[in-house]
Structure 1
């Protein structure tokens, strides 16, 4: 089994290095020579340098004398053009990368030694077409913790921070916000004549009859972008996610629809029913169903006057008219004016080449062309400002608008300046229908954001300007801290902040984990969990986080240790009708949603005069649970459910989350040839069934996860605290080991000890800050971001744990403001 496990580890391929950049401390003779870059380094040179590393750290276990796992490293070939040889070196790369080799009880290479060896090996593999392009892959979401954590925060890196110039694919939700209302819905009207409507027909065959209209919208577009979430990141908006072929195809279809709407109007279907003797009384606006039905299609809407003029003109379009139309097209889609060369390009290469198809088709071709340019599909962060002495370029004012606005919002930053428009129709409908169909202000004519107004006034150019507007945005009046299905995180002030915590903790996925609610009706400790409970518990956690952010003190510590819980769907009162509908007082108690937090609705009924806690007196939906039962977001039922299986807890998944999110660690993915099954035994606890992973074949990875996840066995798999399992006292002990901080290592007896230890750790705080950086920067850290990360850490600590100050430090940092 030991040999099989070692072989399985070697088979896993993770093409990435431990360090994002070469360091100044690396010995010069360990750097690839200039000849190496040209593919001329003899294999013997590589053999000499590689053998030094292997000889010092690996050959004690893997030489010809009883090699561990039958893996010998003393006789490796260095001809990397041979597939088998390259594969062997690739497996060595992965083991060193993951810290699996050398083993923890052997002499370990320093971070620089490890990084230098991996870079040199990658260089040699690249010469033979088998390398990893490390610097690029280090920016991908699944490789977030591979840079040495210590070097990011110890001050040894003095390079000035920047971000690589990039195109950042449009966020799906922002595309919806731009497209959905303006171009993406096909409306239709239901018209009923002769019922109990509120419009009197003034002319025609139905003069004197009442008419009722109802308006419907059907989504008629496909969002071309997808929401990619890598399990190791959890974040949905990385700049490395590109628009693929399917995205471009959907963009083209949408662009054709958009071009038609802006030139000839939106096609509207009107379904008319006239009441007759066969009509029946119905529960609808006109109070009848059936009758004589007719269907008509009309074009309607407001289109730019210049577009309408070009479409209707029978004469060749003049250059002046075309330039005016292109101004409108750029304003609508790119939120800027065309450059001189763009006027020429679109006139000669697009409009004129399609002119033989008619003015309408030629103009639509121009609109389609504009909407398929990278500038419409991507956010451009090239750094169009001044270049400094280090070759870094400051973001231009327009780039700053996009970066800052999209950091906190999920809606367009730019509106459209007033454009002269005209209503278009293809038929003359009844006057009430025409009044309903009139669109005095198109959806795309929304106003500019406050940031755009600052930019237009010339007040968004410097770092001081950025800090001023960021503070204004963060100080915006909050519109409450309770979220529900009617008021989700998207409705909150600066919604991207709560979205960060949803994606960081991942508790919003609770609704995606199947739970057998029919079976729960028979089981104590589960009867409170019904259809919709998972979603409601996630709203509880949303609200708790907003409550903590509102106070903005020791935010991370509060998130990890608070015993407050929020129940947004209970106001603290036991309404008699609710009790009756539940089936009586006892059933009401057992099935009440606050039972998920081990609270009794009768014992915790809200009475503001009897609460000693002033915060709870003020907020009737906030309660305090016993400290030993609830300790932070990781003991919220929503988090426990999201990180559980369908029918049981999952200490592996929970421990892996802590290892990666709070301890800046890495755990190898499960090899494809390993069947990770825990035996079923209804007479054993889950901890007892997990004893199988303590075999050395499995424990190499599980030791990084299980000791961190086992304390959560104090809860069942729908998040309710329990004292016993299978008739035995719950063993919730665990330990913190194998982290970057030896002082953190300790045994813990329960989840309270675990969370309090983590909450006091500098490593945990810094790991959290790294995730804040990734979410708002859309990429992983590079070593050159060290100064930014340290400034963020300093701002957070010195402000007493203010999340606002943490964001200010990030958004005014060189990493945020400069491109290179």
Structure 2
């Protein structure tokens, strides 16, 4: 705690002083200081210490942990809100409220004031903001297996492994299982997340066309490279062989481009783009997306050849936000209250993930 020598000017209204006298100072004045918390000297604290203390008080008041339930004298809803409003203003003046940031996360969802929610005083129509939800590790692994269109037997074989995932893929986000929270609304990606995403995309894109590459004349170099990553004693296409695994079949639209001895036509490139959107995002590319990715594929093939150019397009689609997140952005139509319904695809993913940690089947999509 700071001393008066470094204090920042700070005052409280008579009303706030009265409320704190009635509900706070019995346990948190200079004599008692329960939990090493003192509230009757706020004006003498340096700014950083005062903001830290007010954040603690704000959270305890908001979730109704303070005053303790065993206390006979409790603030009514109006008094509690008055204290919260005062603290919110003080913290807001310095953009320092940690509670407001925490409440954006789903693991704080149960702290909604249910009395207020169901009292009828809230007149606004319910809505959720646009959100991007991270999927939990099980769903992420299923999504990767969706890209390769693995059948149920192959999926079960992966799940029986100790780590339960493909060797070259890592979930960019670590979500703690003990929290009970299945997914998070995250707004910022850092360099570490991006690096993992790029590494994943490169590995997946290469594996997607590996079977086709093995049909080319220079396949021996690929086999030698594959064997160098394989555990001794395992077969080339064995799941237990770590990075030696690859899908047995390359999608026809990809294989055609890999094996042809000419530049692909616009139609052939469009078919490859739509195939990748189906594998990765479970939907068709829009007209704008199709034009963008056909242009990327064409320029990449011109620079690096059919196989490398195709991998570049596959890689780029794997970095689309639809693959890493479950989106809740809504459709185009806006109702009279300014709200937008989830698109059918957004709703199908939300339902399927909630019920079984699996991607939706074709009927639900």
Tell me the TM-score normalised to structure 2 length.
0.70
Structure 2: give runs of 5+ residues left out of the alignment: 2-8, 151-160, 215-221, 225-243
Alignment partners' CA distance in 2, 1:343 and 1:364? 16
1:630-657, CA deviations, whole angstroms, 9 ceiling, x for partnerless residues?
Answer: xxxxxxxxxxxxxxxxxxxxxxxxxxxx
Mapped pair 1:150 → 2:95 = no
Whether contact under 8 Å (2:55, 2:99) holds in the other structure is no
Mapped pair 1:113 → 2:26 = no
* Residue among 231, 238, 249 paired with 2:183: 238
Whether contact under 8 Å (2:147, 2:279) holds in the other structure is no
Q: Secondary structure at the match of 2:250?
A: strand
Matching of residues 421-432 of structure 1 within 5 Å: none
1:514-549, CA deviations, whole angstroms, 9 ceiling, x for partnerless residues?
Answer: xxxxxxxxxxxxxxxxxxxxxxxxxxxxxxxxxxxx
* Residue among 195, 198, 206 paired with 1:260: 206
Alignment partners' CA distance in 1, 2:27 and 2:173? 47
Matching of residues 7-406 of structure 1 within 5 Å: 44=11, 47=13, 50-59=16-25, 73-77=39-43, 82-97=47-62, 99=64, 101-103=66-68, 104-132=70-98, 134=100, 136-180=101-145, 183=148, 219-224=166-171, 228-229=175-176, 231=178, 234-240=179-185, 246=192, 248-265=194-211, 301-349=248-296, 351-353=298-300, 355-406=302-353
Matching of residues 402-551 of structure 1 within 5 Å: 402-414=349-361, 448=362, 450-452=363-365
Structure 1 residues 366 and 107: CA distance shift in structure 2, 3 A: same
The two structures, once aligned, show a CA RMSD in angstroms of 3.9
TM-superposed deviation, 1:370: 0.3
Higher helix share: 2
Whether contact under 8 Å (2:269, 2:297) holds in the other structure is no
Structure 1 residues 68 and 324: CA distance shift in structure 2, 3 A: closer
Structure 1 residues 315 and 50: CA distance shift in structure 2, 3 A: farther
TM-superposed deviation, 1:158: 3.6
TM-superposed deviation, 1:89: 2.8
1:46-97, CA deviations, whole angstroms, 9 ceiling, x for partnerless residues?
Answer: 5456334324433466567x55659654443188x72233234334335534
Q: Secondary structure at the match of 2:43?
A: coil
TM-superposed deviation, 1:387: 1.6
| Residue in 1 that maps onto 2:237 | none
Q: Secondary structure at the match of 1:344?
A: helix
Alignment partners' CA distance in 1, 2:183 and 2:267? 42
Whether contact under 8 Å (2:253, 2:271) holds in the other structure is yes
Q: Secondary structure at the match of 2:125?
A: coil
Whether contact under 8 Å (1:123, 1:131) holds in the other structure is no
Structure 1: give runs of 5+ residues left out of the alignment: 1-6, 8-41, 186-215, 271-296, 415-447, 453-820
Whether contact under 8 Å (1:269, 1:298) holds in the other structure is no
Alignment partners' CA distance in 2, 1:299 and 1:154? 58
Structure 1 residues 179 and 402: CA distance shift in structure 2, 3 A: same
Structure 1 residues 52 and 351: CA distance shift in structure 2, 3 A: farther
Alignment partners' CA distance in 2, 1:55 and 1:406? 50
1:560-608, CA deviations, whole angstroms, 9 ceiling, x for partnerless residues?
Answer: xxxxxxxxxxxxxxxxxxxxxxxxxxxxxxxxxxxxxxxxxxxxxxxxx
TM-superposed deviation, 1:384: 0.9
Alignment partners' CA distance in 1, 2:98 and 2:84? 11
Tell me the TM-score normalised to structure 1 length.
0.34
Whether contact under 8 Å (1:62, 1:71) holds in the other structure is yes
Q: Which moves more between the two structures, 304-313 or 367-376?
A: 304-313
Whether contact under 8 Å (2:277, 2:317) holds in the other structure is yes
Structure 1 residues 324 and 113: CA distance shift in structure 2, 3 A: same
Structure 1 residues 249 and 48: CA distance shift in structure 2, 3 A: same
